[in-house]
Amino acid sequence: MSEKNEKDWPLWEVFYQPNNGKPYEHAGSLHAADAENALQNARDAYARRNEGIGIWVVPSNQITASTPEDMGPFFDPASDKPYRHPQFYSVPRAVKKRS
């Protein structure tokens, strides 16, 4: 493990904000020696074509991700709560047409 870490610079996840007011999106990952290096590399690797107006870089090992086993307990309960979604509610036809 440490042997591997020695050979590669640490891995970072890159997020960018495509436009003003939009949420940040995951772009991909890259290797960098430190945060500043990661930020600059992210600009060169993932924002060469004006893809974003803001960049976040996060050390990959700092991300805690759900596992496939979490899928049931995490997400299934949400699927039987239709009242959280706007489609659950009916709107008079006349209003629908106007919008």
Partner 1 sequence: METQQQLDNFQARIDAGEKIEPKDWMPDRYRQQIIRMGSQHAHSEIVGMLPEGNWIGRAPSLKRKLVLLAKVQDEAGHGLYLYSAIETLGVSRADLIDQYLYGSAKYSSIFNYPTLSYADVCVIGWLVDGAAIVNQTKLAQSSYGPYSRANIRICREESFHKKQGYEMVAKLASGTPAQRKMVQDAVNRFWWPTLMMFGPSDSDSPNSAELIKWKVKLNTNDELRQHFIDRTVMEAEAVNITLPDPDLKFNQETGHWDYGDIPWDEFWDVVQGNGVMNRERMKARREAHENGAWVRKAAQAYARKKKLSREQAS
Partner 2 sequence: MSTDTLTTQKAFLKYLLRLADDRLILGQRVSEWCGHGPVLEEDLALANIALDLIGHSSALYAYAAQIEDKGHDDDYFAYFRDDYEFTNLQLCELPKGDFGFTIARHFLFSSFSYYQYELLKNAKDEQFRGMINKHLKEIKYHLRHSRDWVLRLGDGTEESHERIQNAFDEVWMYVDELFYTDDVDEIMIASGNGADVNSFKDDWKKFVEDTLTEATLTIPDWDQYMISGSRNGMHTEHLGLILTQLQFLRRSHPEADWK
Q: What angle do CA 72, 74, 80 make, to 5 degrees?
A: 75
- In one letter, which amino acid is 94? A
Q: Which amino acid is at 77?
A: P
What residue 7 binds from partner 2, partner 1, none (CB within 5 to 8 A, per partner kind)?
Answer: partner 1
Residue 32 lies near partner 2 (rule: CB under 8 A): yes
Q: Judged by CB under 8 A, does residue 30 bind partner 1? A: yes
Neighbours of 32 (CB within 10 A): 21
Shortest Cβ 1–partner 1 spacing (Å): 10
By CB under 8 A, is residue 37 in contact with partner 2? yes
What single-letter DSSP state applies at residue 75? H
Under rule CB under 8 A, residue 73 binds partner 1: no
Kindly state the DSSP code that residue 59 receives in the 8-state scheme.
E
Interacting residue ranges for partner 1, rule: CB under 8 A: 4, 6-9, 11, 28-31, 33-34, 37, 45, 48-49, 65, 67-68
